[in-house]
Structures are given as structure tokens and as C-alpha cells.
Structure 1
């Protein structure tokens, strides 16, 4: 029996404008299939009903996923005031309602407490692990586990529209690990009116913008066609926040073998940076006294 093909050695980033009704993992699996790629992953889960930027890494680009996961992200979302649900979104079971409706000034004043370095308790229906099990699985089984608060940096949170008394649309820029559903829940509680997310869209994530994203229909229409590769962004797109330090071929060889290599100056001592040789990424590492000490090495063809 012939051995099954493992897939292509294809590397790069793909920006998907994720539609509602599909999980992030399902998108990644479809992308891997469409490109016949050996390896794929994404930089930050979106809820199934959320839309917007899902950055998918293929091949060696998966080694740069942490730098996108750690980058700032922007969300636009609509909060339904007056209703609390067990999932903190419109898919959940209604837990309580309120007739109170705050005005715009009250909303704006309340938003201030969610900006800066805050502590946030994740939604009960989330992927947070408790004793090795996902919180959402425990919740579906009827348990109500206690979730610990987690730190979150919120750069900005502002009201951008007020459709009617029951709905307000907000935009938030935040760091790693933020739950928009928790913001809606906590804002509703702070205002005394309750609330949950009705619609959610990730507008951008690090260097990736939803306006540049491909649709799943485009992917499916060109699946298995080598021309699909034209949509791939280079691996180094995921390293946009790190200094680039060019190096000579001899140093590149050392770096690819996991050894320190001489690089051009362009970073502070102890700073994380990446080395390139003839425009191709070689490694990520820590810069010290003219050398890069590699922590991740890229094996590009």
C-alpha cells in the first residue's frame, strides 16, 4: 500500500475574514486541506458566531504565532442591554432581565473602569481549563466552576454607536487573553441593567486587517489550486513588532544550527529580534553584544 502524502512544505500567513457559524479550528482545518499544507494553526480563537480577522499560519510561519497572539487586537461589538445570558452572548439561555436603560453619558462614564490594566473573569462558557477540563464542557455538563480573574490590558474602549435604547456598539483595543463577552457582561452589571454580546467582529489583529481578509468561499473555490499560494503573506509578517537584524551567510548557517551568530546592530542588548539573510528569515532570538542567540529557527526551502 502506498504511503499517504503528508502535505506540502508551504509557509506563510493567510488573513481570513471568518464568517459566523463556524469554529476557528474548522477554518484552520479547511485552510490546511485547501493548501494541502503539512502544518497550520491560528493566532487567537474567535467564538463560532463572531466574525472578522482570523490569522492562519502555515508551515514555518506557525513558529511566529506567539507574536501575533501577544499583539494588540481591535474589536467592534454590540451589547444588548437589559438581558443577561449564561454564555454572555445571544446564543445562551436568558438568566435575568432588567427594564433599566442607561443613557449615553452613563455608558461612557462606566467604560472608563475597563480601560488600562484590569482584572477580568472569563465567561463560564470559555476554553479556560479547570483541573484539566475546559470550562465550557463543565458548564454543559451542569457544573458551575469558579473561574479566577485574569489580567488584561485594554488600550481603549469607546462607544461608537447607539442604535436604540436596548443596544450600544463599542470598539475595544486590547492585549492577549481578552474576552469581549466578559466586557459586555461586566459593563451591564456596572450599569445595573445587565447585558450580553449580540454581535462581535475582530477588526484587526496585530498587522492583519479584516478588510484584507479572504472569505471561505474564495478559499473553497480555489482549493487545491497552486495559484492559491498567491494570497500568502510572508512568514516575517508575523514578526512585524520585532527588529530585523541582517546577517551574512556564514552567520545564518550558525543560527540555523542553533548557535549564536553575528548580526548587524539594530537592537538593544537583551532585546528579542529576528535575523535575516538575503531577505529570508533565519531565526528569532535574543540580541547580545553583536550576536543573536536563537530561540526559534526557521527551516525554509
Structure 2
């Protein structure tokens, strides 16, 4: 007999402004404890030294995680010119150096090659699986791997500051699966000066903004109180990139049981993925088929 999970049946999103020095998994575990929640997960890992938006899904909101993972995200990051490291960030060992320092005109000209549909090779120290094992584990053992390039959509990549000759600050908006460390590494190679990421912050992810995030200190201070619950955003926020259709009262039970049911829709195409609401609450996600919804995920809250 399966063991019942302890905790509350609480659903929604808690946006945490993650500090440096902690893993994304540790943040999720802290939130699960503080909210006394049965179930929690996150939408998009941040490296331990990265800061900013970590959207933590609780309860039924975990079913909407893929839609946040697929959404556009924005980062601001500082690049150290003149040094390449084995991790492509400041935590690694310096493996190459250069005295060359490109000017702002050269940097801006080089950024164009990193916008649009690009192919990107993940860092050696990454969670990509190689022969069933994480790349970072092989890299720690001194193994060098020929990692396959992966597609990435980069909406925008701009130079926002040049505090000194050794550092530039960039802002990037991109799709899922991107490695900011790879952008810095490849930009350094393109400019002939070598480079790595010195600091990284995710400023927004889909509908979630860093400015709306709670700190880990707040999570600790407000743990297991209604004041922390007040920071919870509804699970429906995680569906904001999907068209919404409304379902009739008699359709609610059918959809929650996984059966097709009538919905009311405007400006929705046949075969489009949508979410159905009743009195503003999410009932299901599924495929719209001419007046009916064929559910693929259902919500019970």
C-alpha cells in the first residue's frame, strides 16, 4: 500500500527571488516545508550561484510547469573578458587567457550572431546526459566530452553596460533550454578574447517577475503562517500563454473525469491547445475540437 504524503493540499505558485549559493532543489524543499505542502516542483533550474526568479509550483500547479518551462525568460549577466574557465563561469579553473579587449562597437556587432534560431553546445559542467550519466559528473573526473549542439531561440541579446575593460553586462531574452554560460563562452571565442560568466540573474520567467518574488529570509520568517500563503499566486497564472475557454456547469465533472465536454470559445482554432475555466478556476487543459474540449490534464482543487 502506497504511503500517503504528509502536508496540505495547497495549490498555486510561489515566486522566490533565489539567492546565490543554494541549489534550485534546496529552494523547492524549503518552500515545501514552509508551506507544509504535499507536492512541490519548479519551472526551470538556476545554477547554484545564479540569482533571481525561481517559480515554485505547489500541488495542482505542478501540472502547469511545462507551460512556464516553455515560456520566454530574461536574464541579465556579467561577462568577464580575457579568461575562459572549464565550467564557463567564475567557479571554474581558468584554462585560457587573452590580453585582447574588444571595444563596444565590436561587441555589439558580434552579438547579432547569437540572436534568432541558434545552435548551442552545452557547457562541459552541465546536467546533460552522456551515456546515461550527467556531463558534470564526467567532467569532474577529468573526462572531456564532445557534447552535441542543441537548438535555442534567442529573442534578444543586448549590451547594457561596460563597467570596465574586463567586464560587460548583457541582457538576454530566450526560450527554454538555453545556457547563458555557453553564450558567454562562445561570444568570447567569436571576439577572440575568451570569456566566462561572472554573475547571472533571471529577471523574469513567463508571467513571473523577480520584483514579485519573496526572499528565502521571508520564506523562513513567514513559514507555516497565513502571511506566506498570501504571497501564493493562483495556478491559473501558469496557463497565461494558453487561450482560455469557458466550460458549462454540466461540463465540469466530465472534464475532471477525463472525458470530452462542451466549452464556450472565441478566437480559438480547431486542434489548438487551450485551458478551460469555470467561474475563473482552471478545470482542464486539452485540445479544442469545435465546441468540445478533449482534456489532457485535469485539475482537482
TM above 0.5, yes or no, is yes
Q: CA deviation at 1:252?
A: 1.1
User: 1:5 Cα shift?
Assistant: 6.2
Shift of the 5–275 alpha-carbon distance from structure 1 to 2, 3 Å rule, reads closer
Q: What CA deviation, in whole Å up to 9, does each residue of 1:121-169 have, x standing for no partner?
A: 0001011111111111111122112210000000000000001110000
Q: Secondary structure at the match of 1:263?
A: strand
Matches within 5 A, 1:26-175: 26-175=26-175
- Partner residue, 2:185: 185
- The 8 Å contact of residues 5 and 38 in structure 2, kept in 1 or not, is answered as no
Distance in 2 (CA, whole Å) between partners of 1:21 and 1:286 is: 41
Q: Separation in 2 of the partners of 1:8 and 1:211?
A: 27
Q: Secondary structure of the residue that 2:264 maps to in structure 1? A: coil
Shift of 1:226: 3.5
Alignment partner of 1:222 is 2:222: yes
Q: 1:269 corresponds to which residue?
A: 270
Show the counterpart of 2:239. Answer: 239
Residues in 2 aligned to 1:130 and 1:227: alpha-carbon distance in whole angstroms: 44
Which runs of structure 2 are paired with 1:252-291 in the superposition (5 Å)?
A: 252-266=252-266, 267-291=268-292
- Matched with 2:195 is 195
**Within 1, Cα distance between the matches of 2:256 and 2:241?**
22
Aligned length: 298
1:17 alignment partner, SS class = strand
Relative to the length of structure 2, the TM-score reads 0.97
Give the Cα–Cα distance (whole angstroms) in 2 for the partners of residues 157 and 277 of structure 1.
Answer: 40
- Tell me the distance in 2 between the aligned counterparts of 1:37 and 1:136: 31
- For 1:238-257, what per-residue CA distance to the aligned partner results, in whole angstroms no more than 9, with x for missing partners? 00011111111211111001
| 1:83 CA displacement | 0.1
- Alpha-carbon RMSD: 1.0
After TM superposition, what 4+ stretches of structure 1 lie above 6 angstroms from structure 2?
A: none
Q: TM-score, normalised by structure 1?
A: 0.97
3-state SS in 1 of match to 2:27: helix
Q: Distance in 1 between matches of 2:71 and 2:180?
A: 16
Aligned-partner SS, 1:107: helix
Bigger CA drift: 206-215 or 225-234? 225-234
Moved more, 135-144 or 109-118: 135-144
Alpha-carbon distance in 2 for matches of 1:228, 1:158: 36
Aligned equivalents of 2:155 and 2:5: distance in 1?
46
